[in-house]
Structure 1
Amino acid sequence: MVDRETVEGTMSAPFRAPHPESTPSDRALFRVNPMSYAVIVIVVLAILWPVSTYPVALGWLVLLPIAFGWWVARTNTRLDEDGVHLSSWRSSRFVPWDEVKGVLFPKNGFARLVTTTDHSFPMGGVSFHDLPRLSVASRGRIRDPYSASRADDAG
């Protein structure tokens, strides 16, 4: 049998909710999942033997993990008071808030920012599960309909 005083003594420390490692400190910056770098390491290990055996014929395979690493490092979306900054592996684009119409979530890939001129641009690093964080980072400019319905149900 466990002594009650012993249990209470060990549980007297205040409870602090864990801070998930995947939650970035900058809530307005959305990046490709950093676990993608693990894929790069696996690809490098997979091509190590063929490239070292036939360097002239298969040396170009080294470019694949380099290109994928470049894509992972460059692809992101950042929100600030002025608008949305979209970066991809080949270009960067800025869309002011007054030109933002909404966000589209296709079945595959990243979310797409839709402008008032009905153009859409990929929002690197933003997926459907990021919608609550996207709403907070945009200060309500991009609405999360699911959190609004939960607030209505609670109220």
Structure 2
Amino acid sequence: MSAPFTAPLPESTPKDRALFRVNPMSYLVIGIVVMAILWPVTAYPATLGWLVLLPIGFGWWVARTNTRLDEDGVHLTTWRTRRSVPWVEVKGVMFPKNGFARLITTSEDSYPMGGVSFHDLPRLSEASRGRIRDPYDAS
């Protein structure tokens, strides 16, 4: 007899299944932007020196934006704010056409869930222990 088949986890699956971050490939975009502005900034540092702030700002956004789920609720961190929403106030999750998922509260407030997209729905359901339901789950 053989053991039942379990699908392997992809290598990109994080070890902390309750933490959702912006895709780390975004740092590659930062490197490309740095390479693109390197010549103009070195040629005209007085007028184009401010362009250095663009990749720094984008890097700050990528590093700070995340969503964490635990027993207390949903903890949302953006580049400028931190917010915690207890489970009793969570009404659901909305997936807009563009951008990250949005957390909807019982007071109809909407907060961006950084790092959470539609393909993260099974992991989101697992991390929330079923509080956020995966409509495509067979069980």
Q: 1:45 aligns with which of 35, 42, 49?
A: 35
Which is helix-richer, 1 or 2? 1
2-structure distance, mates of 1:146, 1:17: 17
2-structure distance, mates of 1:22, 1:81: 25
Question: For the aligned residues, what is the CA RMSD?
Answer: 1.4
Structure 1, unaligned stretches of length 5 or more?
1-15
Aligned residue type for 1:66: I
Structure 1 position 18, deviation (Å): 4.9
2-structure distance, mates of 1:96, 1:65: 34
Report the TM-score, using the length of structure 2 for normalisation: 0.94
Counting only pairs closer than 5 Å after superposition, residues 62-141 of structure 1 correspond to structure 2 as: 62-141=52-131
The residue aligned with 1:7 is none
1-structure distance, mates of 2:9, 2:119: 18
The residue aligned with 1:36 is 26
**Greater than 6 Å deviation, 4+ residue runs:** none
**Number of aligned residues:** 135
Q: Deviations over 1:67-126 (max 9, x none)?
A: 000000000000000000000001000000000000000000000000000000000000
Query: Greater relative contact order: 1 or 2 (C-alpha under 8 angstroms, separation 6 or more)?
Result: 2
Larger radius of gyration, structure 1 or 2?
Answer: 1
Structure 1 position 20, deviation (Å): 2.1
Q: 1:24 aligns with which of 14, 18, 21?
A: 14
Identity %: 80
Q: In structure 2, the residue corresponding to 1:69 is in which secondary structure?
A: helix
Aligned residue type for 2:85: V
Report the TM-score, using the length of structure 1 for normalisation: 0.84
2-structure distance, mates of 1:76, 1:140: 20
2-structure distance, mates of 1:80, 1:55: 47
2-structure distance, mates of 1:18, 1:128: 20
